[in-house]
Chains A and B, each alone.
Chain A
Amino acid sequence: MREEIDVTGEVCPRPALMVRDSLEELGPGDELVVTGDYPPAEENIQRTCEKHGYGVSKPDSDEGESFTLRITIPDEALGPTTGE
């Protein structure tokens, strides 16, 4: 399954929380494509997803300040946790 979420215009820390909620709806092997318009949100999303075992890639070169992240859920998904 492939889902998309747009966090354009959202103020931190909301983008990372929105992505977290979306990921909870998905299962192993699924993919979430996140688009947004603010570089720090991209950094935060990438950091939290990588720490929690998700795969993160950038499908194409970003233009301006907008970004796209492709987040994949591994077969052995760790799922979002709150411990650091």
Chain B
Amino acid sequence: MAGEDAGGDRDSEPIGADPADASPDRGPQLTEYAELHGCSCKIGQSDLESLLAETGLDADRPELLFGVGEDAAARTVTDDRATVSTIDFFTPIVDDPYAYGRVAACNAASDAFAKGATEELSFLVVLGLPRELTDAAPAILDGIADAAASVDGVVAGGHSVLNPWPLAGAAVTATAHPDDLVTTEGATPGDRLYLTKPLGTQPAMGALRVRSGEFGDTVRGATDRSIPEIGEAALGWMTTPNRGAAEAFREAPVTAATDVTGFGLLGQAEHLAANAGVGIELTHLPVIAGTPPLSDLFGYGLLDGESAETSGGLLVAVAPHGGADFEAALDDRGIFYREVGRVTEPPDVTLADPTLEEI
């Protein structure tokens, strides 16, 4: 990938560029402005649940098809049309502002896709930057706009503020037929469980942040694959929209879905299991090649399913007889997938001695 532009058709810096090659007057790096990166900046799952319970916001609302506790909220507009709305924004996951914008927008839309809403996407941009980084705003917005265009969406407006930590993302609305919507509640013991992107974005991005300087040799020596190559692969996955996977829902008996984010695969599986009142057995871990030893080095828990994912894949439960249809629908669209486990009787969610597959 050397020499290729990670940011697509724009004049952005390749993600794998070595900072040591940069000119001496190179500006501050986006990721240096935040102590947490990407979806790692989410507050903890149990803290969030306590907060919602404490404020009463976890109660069912009759106005909504579904809301708090799901990836996105849905309202019926007409008998054949529902709107799905969601918001997601996070601190920089990469230093390149254009790539940051693309990942942030792709991640924001993913919550709508996880609920099966794939049409008429509007993005309202959320942008916060420290004074020193306001020059990065146009490139971040270009990234968001290009990501929106890649899912036939439109940037419809937004809100921007000065903020000590950079933040970017979007409030996204999308539409679907109400019958096409999917929640986390319908999973049933026996269902097959699929994941539509490999895991490992957190160690990949972590390695990029420390690959020069005092820990450069340690990080480079930890894995056989080059760090820029791992970074390129991770960026490719993080900017891959989950729209095609969501379209495939309509061609198979999908019972539940969610997207894998800062809670990691195991945390997201626990969320789905709790909402559906089932157990889950995870048996297969597809990971970005080269990331397991990096996760081990950084203590990120990738092989325990605990490593935070940014703009991760969809975790989809499919009725046992519908596995072949779902796989065919994904194959037709060229969507990556792996069967990663199955839905079981409640309450245990387990990841014991999984098969590791490097992608």
List residues of chain A with CB under 8 Å of any chain B CB: 11-14, 16-17, 20-21, 38, 40, 43-49, 51, 81-84
Contacts and interface: CB of A to CB of B under 8 A. Distances in A.
Given A20-B218, A40-B40, A82 B210 contact: no
Nearest to A13: B298
Contact of B299 (A11, A43, A82, A83): A43
Interface string B285-313: 00000001101111111110000000000
A73 B127 CA distance: 46
Interface in B197-214: 203, 206-207, 209-210
Contacts of A83: 293, 296
- Residues of A contacting B: mostly: helix
Nearest to A48: B299
Given A43-B299, A82-B222, A17 B293 contact: no
Contacts of B293: 82-84
B218 A13 contact: no
A13 B296 contact: no
Interface of B: 31-32, 34-37, 40, 203, 206-207, 209-210, 215, 218-219, 221-223, 292-293, 295-303
A51 B353 CA distance: 15
A12 B206 contact: yes
Contact of A44 (B36, B215, B222, B300): B300
26 contacts: A11-B31, A11-B35, A12-B35, A12-B40, A12-B298, A13-B203, A13-B206, A13-B209, A13-B297, A13-B298, A13-B299, A16-B297, A17-B215, A17-B218, A17-B219, A43-B299, A47-B300, A48-B297, A48-B298, A48-B299, A82-B293, A83-B293, A84-B292, A84-B293, A84-B295, A84-B303
